[in-house]
Amino acid sequence: MKKKMLTMFALLSIIAVLGIPAAVNRLSPAKIQKNGTMVHMFSHSTGQVVNLSVDDYVIGVVAAEMPAEFPEEALKAQSVAARTYIIRRLTGGGVSNPIHPGADVCDDHRHYQAWISREEMKQRWGIRYYQYYFKVAMAVYSTGNEVIVYGGQLIDPVYHSSCGGAGTFSAGEVWKFDDPYLKGVPCPYDADPEPTRVAAFTLSDIKKATGEDISALPVAGPRGFFQVLEKTSGDQPKTVRIGGKVFSATTVREMLGLRSARFSMAMEDGVVKVSTLGYGHGVGMCQYGAKGMALKGKNYREILQYYYTGVEIAEGDS
Ligand SMILES: [Zn+2]
Ligand SMILES: [Zn+2]
C-alpha cells in the first residue's frame, strides 16, 4: 500500500511539473515485477502468455470493461471488482486452466475479464489517451489493494453493463447457482442512455437458431409464435415458448445473440422484432447503475456494497 501511495505521489509530482503526457511516459511499459504477485495472461492477439503486475492487469481490465468517461467513483468500484476477480483466481489454490494452459487468465471477456494494452487504449481513446489513462490508473492506485469479501472470503464479483433500470437479477435466476451476495436489487439511478434496443430477425434466422418453423403461427395470442410462460421476481421473462418449444430466457439470449435476457418479441410483416432491455447477464454490479450512483454523490464503497449484498471492502495482501 505504501508503495502505491509513493507511485501516486510521484505521478502527481510529475504532472504538477510536466503535465499528464510526461507522467504516463514515466510509467514504465507494462512492467514485469521481480517482487509481488504476477498475473500470467494469455493474449489472444499474439498467442503469447505475458506477465503483468496486478496493477497493470487491473488497469487494462478497467480500461476494457468500463467507459473511461464514467465518473471516478464508478471506475474505482470497477477497479476493486476487477482486482477481487484476479486475486480470487490467483489464490484459488492452483485453479487449473483448461482453456489456456500455463496462464491464469486471458484478455477475452468470453473466457475471463476483457483486458486491453496501452496500444489498444491509444486506438480507443485517441487524443484523450493521456487523460483517460491517468484517470483509470488513478482509480486503480487510489483503491490500493482493496478487495471485496463476504464472510471473510473473496467474492465472485460478477458485473454487467446495464440492467436497463429494471433492477439486477439474483444469480440463481440466470445461472444454476445462487450466492448470498448476488441478490437482485433495484437500480433506480441506472444511467443507460439507451436501455431499449430492437433487433430484427427473419423467420429463417429464428428457425436456424431455435429449430422452430413459426411461419404459419399467429402473431399473437395463446397460440401465437411467442409466449412468456414464467416471469422472474423482477417481472422479466424466465421461461418462454417459441413455436412449440420451451426455452429459458437465458438460452434464447444465447441462441439469438441478444443484448440481454429481458426481451419481448413481436412479428411484423414476417419479420420478428426482438426488443431487449439493458445489456449483459444482469447479475452483480450494474455498470450504468454505478455511473448513476456516482453522479448522485455515492462513493465506490457504497456502490459495491449496494450491488453485492452484505459484503465488506477489505485490504488485501500486497
Ligand atoms: Zn481466452
Ligand atoms: Zn442498472
Q: Who contacts 265 (Cβ-Cβ below 8 Å, separation ≥6)? A: 225, 226, 242, 272, 273, 274, 275
Place of cell 517482487: 35
Q: Separation of 96 CA from ligand 2 center, angstroms?
A: 33
The pLDDT value given to residue 7 = 67
Per the CB < 8 A criterion, the answer to whether 68 and 135 are in contact is yes
Q: Which residues surround ligand 1, an ion (CB under 5 A)?
A: 106, 108, 111
What's the pLDDT band for 33 if we cut at 50, 70, 90?
A: very low
Asked whether residue 9 carries a pLDDT value surpassing 70, the answer given is: no
Shortest-distance ligand to the CA of residue 286? 2
Give the Cα separation of 157 and 11 in Å (integer).
29
Helices (H), 200-308: 203-210, 249-256, 287-295, 300-307
Give the Cα separation of 219 and 224 in Å (integer).
5
The pLDDT value given to residue 234 = 78
Q: Separation of 217 CA from ligand 2 center, angstroms?
A: 35
Q: Separation of 112 CA from ligand 1 center, angstroms?
A: 7
Q: Separation of 48 CA from ligand 1 center, angstroms?
A: 11
- At 204-257, the pLDDT tens digits run 999 999 999 999 899 888 889 999 999 987 788 999 999 999 999 999 999 999
Residue of 156, 172, 176, 178 lying closest to 112 (CA atoms): 156
Shortest-distance ligand to the CA of residue 107? 1
The pLDDT value given to residue 34 = 39
Considering 31-40, 186-195, 216-225, the range whose residues carry the highest mean pLDDT is 186-195
Lowest mean pLDDT among 4-13, 132-141, 164-173, 276-285: 4-13
Asked whether residue 124 carries a pLDDT value surpassing 70, the answer given is: yes
The pLDDT value given to residue 223 = 87
Asked whether residue 148 carries a pLDDT value surpassing 50, the answer given is: yes
The pLDDT value given to residue 249 = 95
Asked whether residue 32 carries a pLDDT value surpassing 60, the answer given is: no
The pLDDT value given to residue 116 = 97
Per the CB < 8 A criterion, the answer to whether 247 and 210 are in contact is yes
Q: Separation of 284 CA from ligand 2 center, angstroms?
A: 10
Q: Separation of 261 CA from ligand 1 center, angstroms?
A: 24
Q: Separation of 311 CA from ligand 1 center, angstroms?
A: 29
The pLDDT value given to residue 35 = 47
Shortest-distance ligand to the CA of residue 293? 2
What's the pLDDT band for 21 if we cut at 50, 70, 90?
A: low
The pLDDT value given to residue 23 = 60
Instruction: Give the start-to-end residue ranges of the domains of the chain.
Output: 2-190+282-315, 196-277
Q: Separation of 102 CA from ligand 1 center, angstroms?
A: 12
Asked whether residue 132 carries a pLDDT value surpassing 50, the answer given is: yes
Q: Separation of 101 CA from ligand 1 center, angstroms?
A: 10
Lowest mean pLDDT among 156-160, 182-186, 233-237, 269-273: 233-237
User: Average per-residue pLDDT in the chain?
Assistant: 90
Give the Cα separation of 237 and 268 in Å (integer).
21
Asked whether residue 286 carries a pLDDT value surpassing 60, the answer given is: yes
Main-chain dihedrals φ then ψ at residue 63, nearest 5 degrees: -60, -35
Asked whether residue 280 carries a pLDDT value surpassing 60, the answer given is: yes
The pLDDT value given to residue 316 = 84
Asked whether residue 24 carries a pLDDT value surpassing 60, the answer given is: no
Q: Separation of 68 CA from ligand 1 center, angstroms?
A: 23
- At 82-118, the pLDDT tens digits run 999 999 998 865 456 678 988 999 999 999 999 999 9
Q: What angle do CA 12, 15, 18 make, to 5 degrees?
A: 150
Residue of 36, 147, 4 lying closest to 88 (CA atoms): 147
Report, as an integer, the average pLDDT of 118-146: 97
Shortest-distance ligand to the CA of residue 112? 1
Q: What is the separation of C-alpha 303 from the centre of its chain, rounded to a whole number of angstroms?
A: 15
Shortest-distance ligand to the CA of residue 285? 2
Give the Cα separation of 136 and 33 in Å (integer).
20
Place of cell 442512455: 193
Q: Separation of 157 CA from ligand 2 center, angstroms?
A: 16
Query: DSSP class of residue 177?
Result: -
Shortest-distance ligand to the CA of residue 110? 1
